[in-house]
Amino acid sequence: MNVVLQSLLLGVLAALGWGIADFVAAVVSKRLGILRTIVGVHLVSIPVAAVYFFAVSDISIVSLTHWAVLLLISAVSFIVYIVFYKALQVGPVAVVSPIVSAYAVVVIVLAFIFTGERLSVMQGVAVSASVGGIVLASVSLRSGMRLREVVGFGALLGFVAMVGIGVWQFGVGILSRDIGWFLPIFLGRVITFGMFVPLVAVRREWPWQRLSAPLLVGVVVVGITETGGLFAFARGAEIGVISIVAAASITYPIIPILGGLIVFKEELGFTQYVGLAVALAALLVLALSS
């Protein structure tokens, strides 16, 4: 299997994990609260990943420079979590989601500037089509949204989250090429969790408050699928092309959309169906262009 196809498949795997995580997190966070959900997810994912860390990983390969980058991207991750969930809270989600999912553009631009990655014309067209397809699939043009809803506070927060996620994921991708796919995610998770603990303590929003059995299951699902998606992205960046991994991974909103159709009986407009078709076709083009 060549590098481009591996990048594509791992990007899609990341999208699958993130899509499931976002759909479940949307349900859980409304009942449990943003901070409790975030900290709960970290409390689930860190111990699970720690088994692999203590069994296999060699932390001695992490240099001072790597630690500095880890601290930086963990701080970005901390801010992104808060801003992203706040953006979803403020809404409208139909505007916030496509803005955030376009983080791949940031990753592609950074990869072009700092790593010299170059896409072929066909791959570039497929990447652009993938981004455009997700935007169409995420926005319901028949909803009659007014201009002030499109450019409101939620949209602004969504843009900030999009840039932050792009920087964060690019940093993870670069570190993965130096210290492997696992350590950037695991160590970053631990550092970010450490940043959230004082905030939770001050606000006294402990994750076990309001926690019922169904919500606990939801938190576990989010923790495993979100972290699994991050590992898939990091692995793809380590062995493949960061730009293509990022482009494939932005298809994650498809999962919440399908979840809405099946679980919440939501309806899609014509442009959303077109967007889904374009996004899937773009992935096929990426695979064929390999």
Residue that wins the pLDDT comparison between 73 and 242: 73
Contacts of 121 (CB under 8 A, 6+ apart): none
30-70: pLDDT as tens digits = 888 889 999 999 999 999 999 999 988 889 999 999 999 99
Across 16-30, 127-141, 186-200, 243-257, the highest mean pLDDT is recorded for 186-200
pLDDT at 80: 93
178-228: pLDDT as tens digits = 999 999 999 999 999 999 999 999 998 888 888 889 999 999 999 999 999
74-91: pLDDT as tens digits = 999 999 999 987 777 776
Mean pLDDT of the chain: 83
| Burial (CB count within 10 angstroms: exposed 0-12, middle 13-18, buried 19+), residue 271 | middle
- Reply yes or no on whether the pLDDT at 134 is more than 90: no
pLDDT at 141: 59
pLDDT at 70: 96
- Reply yes or no on whether the pLDDT at 126 is more than 50: yes
Rounded to 5°, angle at Cα 202 from 205 and 90: 60
258-283: pLDDT as tens digits = 776 777 666 667 877 787 788 778 76
What are the angstrom distances between the C-alpha of 48 and each of 32, 77, 189, 200? 22, 20, 12, 22
pLDDT at 150: 46
